[in-house]
């Protein structure tokens, strides 16, 4: 098999997994942290995903420890694992309550040193800090707005990486212009393109009037799945350090608008399916 088809398959697997995690994050936690397999398969079908692909993705998430198998009243189902619940709770703050830093907040610096014999820990550290939105100030020195220091500490502790790390909060004292340095620490062009892609897909052309709950569900879950990765790529840098035409503002406003309109309707459809399958 050639590399390209494998990559495409891997991308599809990741997309299906992310959709399932979104469904569990939105609707399982509201239902005692449990969804029947039949309900998840039915909801994925509403997103155009065939049954077998949905079931295979659920099984992979179980093997990864994201989901735990659990039967209720002889009905097969799954619950979010304890670590996944913790990660999703932290994510709720980033996605739905995110705050933008100011220059007065200062910076969080993460300095780490990992022995060559434990290079897998180095990879885990870099992956964790990248996912938190940290930029690279120098080899082994990562930087983000200071309001992410607590989240960084909690995340690195949870992943058993704290012994390799020191975290400081500070202000830029000298030398050079921070605005120019931010462009070296973060790939702002890439971030701006990610926001542009979101707006291209979910901008004003997406209809939001006179929608049925099922139609709202079909837009909302993929939209939230797309969006929830962006607050982790973007650490909420001060606006004063960003380009004047920063697309993150417009994309953020659009997300809030769509969330307010679509979330209640989508939940109405999802809970109807969930409760209907529970009663079967």
Look at residue 53 in the predicted model and tell me its pLDDT: 95
Model pLDDT for residues 133-144, shown as the tens digit of each residue:
999 999 889 999
Flag whether pLDDT at 99 surpasses 70. Answer: yes
Query: What pTM does this model have?
Result: 0.85
Look at residue 7 in the predicted model and tell me its pLDDT: 44
The full 3-state SS of 94-128, as one line of letters, equals: HHHCCCCCCHHHCEEEEEECCCHHHHHHHHHHHHH
Model pLDDT for residues 213-269, shown as the tens digit of each residue:
999 999 999 999 999 989 888 899 999 999 988 999 899 999 999 999 999 999 999
Flag whether pLDDT at 277 surpasses 50. Answer: yes
Computed over every residue of the chain, the mean pLDDT equals 89
Model pLDDT for residues 73-88, shown as the tens digit of each residue:
889 999 999 989 988 9
Flag whether pLDDT at 279 surpasses 60. Answer: no
Look at residue 225 in the predicted model and tell me its pLDDT: 95
Mean pLDDT of 88-104: 87
Model pLDDT for residues 17-68, shown as the tens digit of each residue:
999 999 999 999 988 899 999 999 999 999 999 999 999 999 999 999 999 9
Strand order in the sheet with 107-112: 135-138, 141-145, 107-112, 165-170
Q: 18-37: b or e for each residue (b if 16 or more CB lie within 10 Å)?
A: bbbbbbbbbbbbebebbbbb
Flag whether pLDDT at 114 surpasses 50. Answer: yes
Flag whether pLDDT at 184 surpasses 70. Answer: yes
Q: How deeply is 164 buried, as exposed, middle or buried, from its count of CB atoms within 10 A (0-12, 13-18, 19+)?
A: middle
Nearest 5°: CA angle at 120, between 118 and 123?
Answer: 125
Look at residue 255 in the predicted model and tell me its pLDDT: 94
Entry field: residues in the chain? 280
Q: Residue 39 CB: number of other CB atoms within 10 A?
A: 26
Flag whether pLDDT at 182 surpasses 50. Answer: yes
Flag whether pLDDT at 150 surpasses 70. Answer: yes
Flag whether pLDDT at 146 surpasses 60. Answer: yes
Look at residue 1 in the predicted model and tell me its pLDDT: 35
pLDDT over 90, % of the chain: 61
């Amino acid at each position: 098999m050639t590399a390209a088809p494998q990559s495409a398959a891997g991308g599809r697997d990741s997309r299906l997994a992310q959709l399932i995690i979104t469904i569990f994050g939105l609707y399982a936690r509201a239902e005692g942290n449990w969804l029947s397999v039949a309900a998840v398969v039915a909801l994925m079908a509403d997103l155009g995903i065939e049954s077998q692909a949905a079931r295979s993705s659920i099984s992979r998430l179980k093997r990864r420890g994201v989901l735990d198998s659990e039967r209720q009243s002889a009905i097969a189902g799954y619950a979010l694992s304890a670590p996944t619940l913790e990660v999703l709770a932290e994510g709720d703050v980033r996605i739905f309550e995110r705050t933008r830093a100011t220059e007065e907040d200062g910076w969080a610096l993460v300095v780490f040193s990992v022995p060559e014999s434990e290079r897998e820990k180095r990879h885990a550290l870099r992956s964790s800090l990248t996912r938190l939105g940290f930029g690279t100030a120098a080899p082994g020195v990562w930087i983000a707005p200071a309001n992410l220091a607590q989240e960084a500490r909690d995340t690195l502790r949870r992943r058993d990486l704290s012994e390799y790390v020191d975290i400081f909060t500070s202000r830029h004292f000298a030398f050079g212009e921070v605005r120019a340095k931010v462009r070296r620490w973060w790939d702002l062009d890439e971030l701006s393109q990610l926001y542009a892609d979101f707006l291209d897909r979910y901008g004003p052309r997406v209809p939001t009037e006179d929608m049925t709950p099922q139609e709202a569900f079909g837009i909302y879950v993929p939209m939230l799945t797309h969006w929830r990765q962006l607050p982790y790529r973007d650490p909420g840098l001060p606006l004063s350090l960003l380009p004047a035409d920063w697309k993150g503002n417009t994309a953020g406003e659009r997300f809030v608008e769509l969330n307010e309109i679509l979330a209640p309707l989508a939940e109405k459809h999802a809970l109807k399916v969930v409760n209907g399958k529970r009663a079967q």
